[in-house]
Structure 1
Amino acid sequence: MAENVTVGWQVGADVTDWQLTVESRARRVRADLAALPSAPATEVARKAADVSLEIVDVALRSADNKWWRSGASWWSGWHIERAWRALHEAEIYLAAADPDLPSRLPGLRARVRMYLEEGDPRRAAMELENPDRATVVDAMRAAFDASDDAHAAARALRNKLIVISLALFVLNTVLGLVGLIRPGLVPMCMPPNLAVQQPLCPTGTGAASGWDVWMVQLFGALGATISVVLLLIRRRPDLSPYVLVGYQALVKILLGATLSAVGLLALGAGLVSGIVYVGSQAALLLWAVLFGYAQQVGTRLLDNYADRLMDEVRPLPDRVTTSGGKR
């Protein structure tokens, strides 16, 4: 029956990894549906799965049309999540009608363990030697729902990171413009001390300059960039449609620029007098770098949360049906 398989929507060459994954799995679902024996119950499941696969095709086509795709669609991610949810429904209908379901139980159990808690009764029922088909379908649906919810959570975190980045960019820009228009209004210079008889400023002059704030922010961003490099080194590649690492890096750099200005304000105010000594321009800029890197203390919590979230939505090679895998 392979010659009767409908290929469905085929994504173009310039597509993202998630589109290729969804299209490949949808094609395998179609092949498995065509191989099912003819029976009244099978035909019902096949028709229901075909409806879900048509939804997958529409979502892929919408995502592939760059001119049609609007900013609201990108922000809401409806085409991504609709494609995955519809694909999951098709895989569930396939499992419900598959006569070889018992042979697929090891893979199904592994998938359910990934998303359902150990005390979940649906997971416990799946662990029985010969669970009935309704139990398997119910556990699959719960596991897929948890996976789809993780995708929605990843999108929500991405949008939050974008909003935070915009707010930090505006704040840094305003601080820089204020310092440029009214030099000294945002004091970045250190007061004279026993070693330096005149104010010590980031630009190396003896008086406040319009570029002091920009200089401090630049070196703060430099310090934050070091933590970004560490983030990129330890981050594993993934095929999730919502890649967060770029937005995390942007937040770190912008926050580092902000904290460097705040840190130098604290130094100039004498809050750490007697503990920190600044006797040269190089030392002043070095402290700006350190304050910029210090954002890692707060953003590390964000990194850990993002890592856990991406682990839940990262596609893995576990076979759920002949068309499936942990996504």
Structure 2
Amino acid sequence: MQQAAESQKMTWRLGSWWNGQAYEGTLACLHAAEVAILALAQPVRAWTRIDAVLALAGPLCQKDPRLALVEQLKQKNKPQDNRVPWAVAALLEAAYAVQEERAVRSRNFRNRLIRAGSVLTLLLVVTVVVAWRNAGAIPVCTSGCPGRADSGLREVGLVMLLGMLGAATHVVGRLQKMGGSWNPYNLPFYQELIKLPIGALTAVIGLLLVDTEWLPMIEAPESWRDVMACAVVFGLAQIALTRTIDQRAEKILASEPDAEEAKQLEKVPDNRVQRAPEFGT
């Protein structure tokens, strides 16, 4: 408990925020303290926690032998059994190990989104610089540029902005459907934030590909108003590219792991728990 308090008092630093040291360290210490208290409790007192531990560990440790042992003890209905505290504590430790692993996976996915978003933002900056230094190098409009023949910084910048607006339309719609989440790393925020630079890039790329052999079914816009409309549509089209991100985030944010993730987490308790209690006979 003292270690948890010290971890909680840790001053904010970029490294601890990126590595999750403060949150994950505090969580691990609190879990270890609760497991130790339960292991040292009297059998009757540990028996009162058996249903809560089974409800917590059931979805996480479906094939764990510790779950089978606790279920067996419950069926025998012997609260005075000396094995109850150790068995329940071991199962709780395994369930907490899976919870901590899911938190680590959530942080790693958040960090990947941040890195990807940084790279996309850098690409946007490079695109803006190219459009500023070389007018017409990025022809987002041909005959529809307002007041000029070649597209420059103004046209490319507006296309990017409209692409972001198109992506933001999708983000707002998802936020209305999104409820509360257990996630401690604000994963939904980064999940939606990365769609804005993706929308800007898809708007630019889409306008470059119209009326070519890559997109022959879409004619080149003839007016600036058509260019703006295409930019919004192409920005909204980032849905196709971010669908995989949404699916992965939904699995992480789910209160219980799905079948595929549960299979991946089967070995986590044995790998993360450093010393498992010995069951009495």
TM (norm. structure 1) is 0.70
Q: How does 1:139-218 map to 2 (within 5 A)?
A: 139-190=91-142, 199-201=143-145, 203=146, 205-218=148-161
Say if 2:15 is the partner of 1:61: no
Amino acid at match of 2:207: L
SS of aligned partner of 1:307: helix
SS of aligned partner of 2:112: helix
Amino acid at match of 1:264: L
Contact 2:135–2:150 (CA under 8 A) maintained in structure 1: no
Aligned to 2:23: 80
Contact 1:123–1:139 (CA under 8 A) maintained in structure 2: yes
Aligned to 2:46: 101
Q: Distance in 2 between matches of 1:274 and 1:146?
A: 50
Aligned to 1:30: none
Q: Spell out, residue by residue over 1:155-199, the C-alpha distance to the aligned partner (whole angstroms, 9 max, x if none).
A: 111111111111111100110111011111112123xxxxxxxx2
How far did 1:274 drift? Answer: 4.4
Structure 2 CA distance for partners of 1:120 and 1:215, relative to 1, 3 Å = same
Contact 2:207–2:231 (CA under 8 A) maintained in structure 1: yes
Structure 2 CA distance for partners of 1:176 and 1:277, relative to 1, 3 Å = closer
Q: Distance in 1 between matches of 2:119 and 2:151?
A: 27
How far did 1:132 drift? Answer: 3.3
Aligned to 1:112: 57
How far did 1:312 drift? Answer: 4.3
Structure 2 CA distance for partners of 1:263 and 1:163, relative to 1, 3 Å = same
Contact 1:147–1:312 (CA under 8 A) maintained in structure 2: no
Identity of aligned residues (%): 28
Q: 2:88 aligns with which of 120, 128, 136?
A: 136
Contact 1:179–1:210 (CA under 8 A) maintained in structure 2: yes
How far did 1:275 drift? Answer: 4.3
How far did 1:243 drift? Answer: 0.7
How far did 1:290 drift? Answer: 1.2
SS of aligned partner of 2:38: helix
Q: Distance in 2 between matches of 1:97 and 1:145?
A: 20
Q: Spell out, residue by residue over 1:231-285, the C-alpha distance to the aligned partner (whole angstroms, 9 max, x if none).
A: 2122222353211122122210011101111111101535333444633322221
Q: How does 1:15-54 map to 2 (within 5 A)?
A: 53-54=1-2
Amino acid at match of 1:122: R
Aligned to 2:223: 280
Structure 2 CA distance for partners of 1:242 and 1:204, relative to 1, 3 Å = farther
Q: Distance in 2 between matches of 1:81 and 1:106?
A: 26
Contact 1:122–1:138 (CA under 8 A) maintained in structure 2: yes
Kindly tell me the number of residue pairs found equivalent between the two proteins. 247
Contact 1:150–1:312 (CA under 8 A) maintained in structure 2: no
Q: Distance in 2 between matches of 1:205 and 1:86?
A: 65
Q: Distance in 1 between matches of 2:198 and 2:220?
A: 24
Higher relative contact order structure (alpha carbons within 8 Å, sequence separation ≥ 6): 2
Contact 1:204–1:281 (CA under 8 A) maintained in structure 2: no
Say if 2:74 is the partner of 1:126: no
Structure 2 gaps of 5+ residues are: 77-82, 257-281
Q: Distance in 2 between matches of 1:78 and 1:312?
A: 22
SS of aligned partner of 1:132: helix
How far did 1:75 drift? Answer: 1.1
How far did 1:121 drift? Answer: 2.4
Compare 138-147 and 240-249 and name the one that shifted more.
240-249
Structure 1 gaps of 5+ residues are: 1-52, 191-198, 314-327
RMSD of aligned Cα (Å):
2.1
SS of aligned partner of 2:180: coil
Amino acid at match of 2:65: P
Structure 2 CA distance for partners of 1:255 and 1:274, relative to 1, 3 Å = closer
Q: Distance in 1 between matches of 2:215 and 2:241?
A: 21
Say if 2:18 is the partner of 1:70: no
How far did 1:106 drift? Answer: 1.0
Aligned to 1:28: none
SS of aligned partner of 2:222: coil
SS of aligned partner of 2:96: helix
